[in-house]
Amino acid sequence: MLNITFFKGLTTGLILSFPFGPVGFYCMEKALTEGKREGYVTALGMVTSDVLYGLIAFLFVNIVDDFIFKYEIFCKIAVGVLLILLGLKKLNTPVVLDKKIINQDYNIFQDYFIGFGLASLNITGIVTILALYTLLGLVRDQDNYFHLALGIAAGGVISWFFTVNIICAFRKKLTDDVLIKLSKFASFVILTFGIITLGYIIFS
């Protein structure tokens, strides 16, 4: 039976899946230019990372604090570099609105692992998770681990289901030329996120 921990996890998952950060922006760009399935699968990779980090923060809060203190700057550098490389690659690559047309080797799981990888490198997201746990009053109780993970997963899936469907409904009203321009703009934003991340480390 679902308990209060599930609903607190659900709230955590919904908040973590707000599409505001660079990874969320990347997921939206995938949905807008390539379609519902690609956007949703990429988002599921991000949700998987949220669930794993949610459990890690829940189980090993003291270890997590020490790890972030020691390695936060290195992880931020890695995220910044990857975002810059991803942004540059997308800016310099012709936009293909349907990969399957020219790439017979395309595998949908590539999108999942890209979403998972980008989200997993952002370990400072655990700070947000810990803040949410404090706000929601989550108590570390081993009987609640499963309900917490299930709640975070459900929250992320629900959030991205609506986000991707709204984007794809909007996508149908746009011409291919507009979609290509939006994709290039999204790539520029991703590149900017990376530059800002590295700039903050250098000048802070």
The number of domains in the chain is 1
Helices 61-91 & 176-203 angle (0-180, nearest 10)? 130
Per the CB < 8 A criterion, the answer to whether 23 and 15 are in contact is: no
Q: Per the domain annotation, does 199 fall within a domain?
A: no
Q: Per the domain annotation, does 85 fall within a domain?
A: no
Q: Per the domain annotation, does 141 fall within a domain?
A: yes
Q: Per the domain annotation, does 200 fall within a domain?
A: no
The whole-model pTM stands at 0.76
Enclosing domain of residue 167:
4-70+98-186
Backbone angles phi, psi at 92, to 5 degrees: -95, 5
Q: List all residues 6 or more positions away from 104 whose beta carbon is below 8 Å from its beta carbon.
A: none
Q: Per the domain annotation, does 158 fall within a domain?
A: yes
Q: Per the domain annotation, does 196 fall within a domain?
A: no
Q: Per the domain annotation, does 35 fall within a domain?
A: yes
pLDDT tens for the chain, 204 residues: list them.
Answer: 668 888 888 988 888 888 777 788 888 888 888 888 889 999 999 999 999 988 888 877 667 667 766 777 887 788 788 888 888 887 787 766 655 444 555 678 888 998 898 888 877 677 778 777 777 777 555 567 888 899 999 999 999 999 999 888 888 787 777 777 877 887 888 888 889 888 888 887
> Distance between CA 128 and CA 40 in Å, rounded?
23
Q: Per the domain annotation, does 132 fall within a domain?
A: yes
